[in-house]
Structure 1
Amino acid sequence: MTSQASTEGPSKALRRVLIPLALAQFICSFAGSNMNVMINDMSEDLNTTVQGVQLAITIFLLVMAALMIPGGKLTDRYGRKRCLNVGLAVYGVGALISAVAPGLPVLIIGNSILEGIGTALLIPPVYILTTLLFTSVASRARAFGAISAAGGVGAAAGPLIGGLITSAISWRAAFVFQALVIVVIIVLGRRWVEDPLPADPTRPFDTGGAVLSAVGLILIVMGILATDNNIWLMLGLIAAGLLFLVWFFLSVRAKERAGREALLSTALFRNSTSNLGMITQNIQWLVLMGVSFVVSAYLQVVRGYNAIETGLIFTAATVGLLLSSLTAEIMAKRRAQRTLVLAGFVITIVGIVVFLAMVDIESRVWAFGPGLFLIGLGVGAMLTPSVNIVQSSFDEDLQGEISGLSRSVSNLGSSMGAAIAGTILVAGVTDRPGRAYALAMITLGVISLIGLLAAVRLPSTPPTPATVPRQ
């Protein structure tokens, strides 16, 4: 299979490759959001609490973030297609275990751990293969647009699809649905996906670096989750996480100076364009998953809507996200990537303001629509250009590393979004439940402003790919 995309557009074979790759991103994003509308059903069936289900959701996102960097690095050693297939298999087993879980501990093993590990193995190959196979700016924007749209729709439509399945059958059937999609992806991937670069079984793997980076990320998110319990515990966990990450970076520098291969190249952090792009990625997913959690919980806990009603209301965000994601190719030809990211953050912030204003003055269901639509439109507008900015900043030799790092940053944003939103909701900062949800949305709006400031500093011209010789 050729790795070139012509100026007229990618070949039919390349377009087919996008189907299993986009489906893989869809199902992983779906898994991160569909449980939001099952909170009540799952907590009752598993004899746990809303906080217990939130914990399972957060651990799933956290495992993804913690293992995404090692997962990206493993693609160089074992091959992108092999890692994709192994990740899909692990994910599928986790989904089936989740479907028959008798209690929260088994659910965490299946959903949070196995599905999280599977996602960390399969997502980096999706982005590496896309970068290697689609070489022009327009074709890559089209490809990333399709994959980002699939991921965004999976996250935004997760509540609707999960609500429909839960209402019609059971929340357990949603995990069976995931397993079935995994089977489809494996079949299509075996037929259509080819790895353009050979694997290098002799390439060393930095186990120590993988452990340090994972522990650091885990401690930081655990610190966020501990906010409502003890402020000193929160500060202690976050400080410990930062110390582990500093230890990780020092070990990386030491290995590079000694001529040994580290988990990540320090060159990844010397590219200011990529660094800013990853900040915007982190905040985009933080806001998307945070809004999904806050709105879903508000509709069920405060308004008393069931799973399908909650999912239908959240469809407004799905429509907005799908609309902007599917026009990524056209917009990439007409506007600079920086402009699209800036516009996305502005629209998202406006959407949060509209959402808060409309819900406050109007109690009917339609009041949720305009704000959610704008939030989806804004996030969808910047998902593709942010990915394109980061991936295009580096040459082929660093694609495995930057893909793992980029996806780790994005999934860390997802886990932080659920953690921050959930922490505010259960922290008891206000006696009025509705106000707690409003405070959570305001917090997400403030975080969006930080993303906007990062986007302002992005260059208006495409970055020149950086390359580093293999050691």
Structure 2
Amino acid sequence: MTGSGVEEPAWKAEGTVREVEGTVREVEGRGGARWALVSVALGVFCIQLDSFALNLALSHIKAELDVSTGQLQWVVSAYLLSCGTLMLGAGRMSDLFGRRRLLIVGLTLFGLASLWCALAPSLPVLVTARMVQGAGGALIMPAGLALLTNVFPPAVRGRAMGRALGIGGLATACGPFVGGALTDMVSWRAVFWLNVPLGVVAALCARRAQESRDTTASGHIDWPGLATGSAALAALAVVIDRGPVWGWVSPAGVGTLCLAALAPAAFVRIELRTAEPLIAPALFRNGAFVALTAAGAVANAATVVFLFVVPLSLQGGWRLTPLVAGVAFLGPAVAMAAGGPFAGRVTGARAVPVMAMSLGAAAVVLLGAALISGLPPYLVAVTGGGAALGVGNALTLTATQGVIRPERAGEASGLTKTVITVAAGLGVVATGPAVDTGGTATAGGNGPLAVAGAGCLAACLLLALWGWVRRGPRARRPGEPVPSAATKGGVR
């Protein structure tokens, strides 16, 4: 009852209570939200630093451990494939058991694995340590993004994610120079040593963050779905890499192909029959989420191929030392790092990812087709491609979080990161042999870059076509409530 004796409508009273409760939570958790932002930013910083600094050290790893480029690519792809395989369950587990808790576990595991990498005496040990490092990264990204989605109010959520990606992007900018300098002056192992203290600081910051979890769930884990989903991803990775070596009609090749075909079917069957599935089937009916994730997968694969091939080409084809190559790659890295803050301000704008990916694809195609000669024009094209791909990748992470329900943020983030990371890992696996046959021997064209750029262009066309045909709902404004599942015909 109100003071005038007129009963207040139930929906209005409920909305007022929720608004007050939200304001209270925002005031009480503001400090915790800041610590969450710092922790996630440092986690992304570690991952980006590891990727960018390591790429400039690959040639020294190859020489010291006496391996071919085809074997060397496993230093990169082992991390990506491990990370992508485990993210499928990591995202949902963070929803169930606590996003802050899983973030701390991921940061700790990533730091310990970095120490293991720094001490690795051989390539098999290094690759194994990289797989463990990938497991830590599998927890950091989906748990961290889901934590930010839930501790920040909708009005500033996109900006918070953009800042985290932007701060992490500083590692993108300084990574090549740091990696080249450390490799030249100390050792490639020093690149991994840097992650250890950073991981400790990030974990300590995460302990002061506000915990969040999906309070609508029972806490049940879909173990059959997790097992079959992970098996499907692992089989896919193995069949891409080992199939040509074993032979497609060999017992090992046929067995792996069967597993790669049967495991996904079993996973879908389990998810459709489980009361609390690992990945809600209705998520795949969210057209915006599916389109952005698919486009992001292609863009991320192109980006990883770009990051794998260009540094090796600078040192191989252009005959630059790791330190000089790091300085030369600084411009493209800074341009790519700027994508995070920009993406945080344009979340939901469908034309932006299409334009960004189109520009990036055009630059990568030109580089791969050897249509650019001379080092200065080459670096200009690399910088333009890096900037466009950086925006496209950051938009995938922020925009997909804007079209789902916050309580299932970890599940959606885990699925998105799984798809784009596995796509990137498979891209590197396919790139290794091609690069080993001469991609780094010439300053000009490279087949993997041309293929990556063409795929990126195709994804742009499909994303633009989907947006034109579907004419989906307009992007939500900051603070606007998410439509219910009943109004959208499925879980978002």
TM-score (norm 2): 0.83
Q: 2:57 aligns with which of 31, 34, 38?
A: 38
Question: Retained in 2: the 8 A contact 1:37–1:297?
Answer: yes
**What RMSD in Å do the two structures reach over aligned CA positions?**
3.2
Structural mapping, 1:57-68, within 5 Å: 57-68=76-87
Q: 1:108 aligns with which of 123, 127, 132?
A: 127
Q: 1:229 to 1:173 in 2, by over 3 A?
A: same
Q: Does 97-106 or 411-420 show the bigger shift? A: 411-420
How far the C-alpha of 1:302 sits from its partner, in A, is 2.9
TM-score (norm 1): 0.86
- How far apart, in 2, do the equivalents of 1:314 and 1:31 lie? 15
Q: 1:465 to 1:107 in 2, by over 3 A?
A: farther
2:240 is the counterpart of 1:221 = no
For 1:245, the aligned partner's letter is: P
Q: 1:467 to 1:438 in 2, by over 3 A?
A: same
Question: Retained in 1: the 8 A contact 2:368–2:445?
Answer: no
How far the C-alpha of 1:107 sits from its partner, in A, is 1.0
Q: 1:263 to 1:424 in 2, by over 3 A?
A: same
- How far apart, in 2, do the equivalents of 1:46 and 1:89 lie? 27
- How far apart, in 2, do the equivalents of 1:64 and 1:465 lie? 32
- How far apart, in 2, do the equivalents of 1:286 and 1:431 lie? 17
Q: 2:100 aligns with which of 61, 69, 81?
A: 81
Q: 1:280 to 1:239 in 2, by over 3 A?
A: farther
Match of 1:72 in 2: 91
Match of 1:379 in 2: 389
How far the C-alpha of 1:213 sits from its partner, in A, is 1.2
Question: Retained in 1: the 8 A contact 2:364–2:449?
Answer: yes
2:224 is the counterpart of 1:211 = no
For 1:209, the aligned partner's letter is: G
In structure 2, the residue corresponding to 1:23 is in which secondary structure? helix
Question: Retained in 2: the 8 A contact 1:144–1:388?
Answer: yes
Q: 1:344 aligns with which of 334, 342, 356?
A: 356
Match of 2:290 in 1: 275
Task: Could you list the structure 1 runs, at least 4 aligned residues long, displaced by more than 6 angstroms after superposition.
Answer: 2-7, 198-201
For 1:134, the aligned partner's letter is: F
Q: 1:436 to 1:366 in 2, by over 3 A?
A: closer
In structure 1, the residue corresponding to 2:194 is in which secondary structure? helix
- How far apart, in 1, do the equivalents of 2:444 and 2:237 lie? 21
Q: 1:436 to 1:354 in 2, by over 3 A?
A: closer
For 2:276, the aligned partner's letter is: E
2:179 is the counterpart of 1:162 = yes
Question: Retained in 2: the 8 A contact 1:338–1:460?
Answer: no
For 1:352, the aligned partner's letter is: V
- How far apart, in 2, do the equivalents of 1:230 and 1:305 lie? 37
Match of 2:342 in 1: 327
- How far apart, in 2, do the equivalents of 1:185 and 1:131 lie? 18
2:420 is the counterpart of 1:403 = no
Q: 1:209 to 1:313 in 2, by over 3 A?
A: same
How far the C-alpha of 1:141 sits from its partner, in A, is 2.2
Q: 1:94 to 1:302 in 2, by over 3 A?
A: same
Q: 1:372 to 1:279 in 2, by over 3 A?
A: same
2:31 is the counterpart of 1:19 = no
Q: 1:124 to 1:440 in 2, by over 3 A?
A: same
- How far apart, in 1, do the equivalents of 2:444 and 2:373 lie? 18
Structural mapping, 1:288-307, within 5 Å: 288-307=303-322
Write out per-residue CA displacement over residues 61-100 of structure 1, whole angstroms, 9 at most, x where no aligned residue: 0000000011112113321111111111111111111111
In structure 1, the residue corresponding to 2:89 is in which secondary structure? helix
How far the C-alpha of 1:273 sits from its partner, in A, is 1.1
Q: 1:190 to 1:397 in 2, by over 3 A?
A: closer
In structure 2, the residue corresponding to 1:434 is in which secondary structure? coil
How far the C-alpha of 1:33 sits from its partner, in A, is 4.0
In structure 2, the residue corresponding to 1:412 is in which secondary structure? helix
How far the C-alpha of 1:455 sits from its partner, in A, is 2.3
Q: Whose Rg is larger?
A: 2
Match of 2:11 in 1: none
Match of 2:153 in 1: 135
How far the C-alpha of 1:425 sits from its partner, in A, is 2.1
Match of 1:362 in 2: 373
How far the C-alpha of 1:47 sits from its partner, in A, is 3.5
Question: Retained in 2: the 8 A contact 1:342–1:455?
Answer: yes
Question: Retained in 1: the 8 A contact 2:397–2:413?
Answer: no
How far the C-alpha of 1:44 sits from its partner, in A, is 2.5
Question: Retained in 1: the 8 A contact 2:92–2:408?
Answer: no
- How far apart, in 2, do the equivalents of 1:295 and 1:355 lie? 9
Structure 1 unmatched runs, 5+: none
In structure 2, the residue corresponding to 1:58 is in which secondary structure? helix
Question: Retained in 2: the 8 A contact 1:157–1:314?
Answer: no
In structure 2, the residue corresponding to 1:170 is in which secondary structure? coil
For 1:159, the aligned partner's letter is: P
Write out per-residue CA displacement over residues 28-50 of structure 1, whole angstroms, 9 at most, x where no aligned residue: 23333432222221123223333
Q: 1:153 to 1:325 in 2, by over 3 A?
A: same
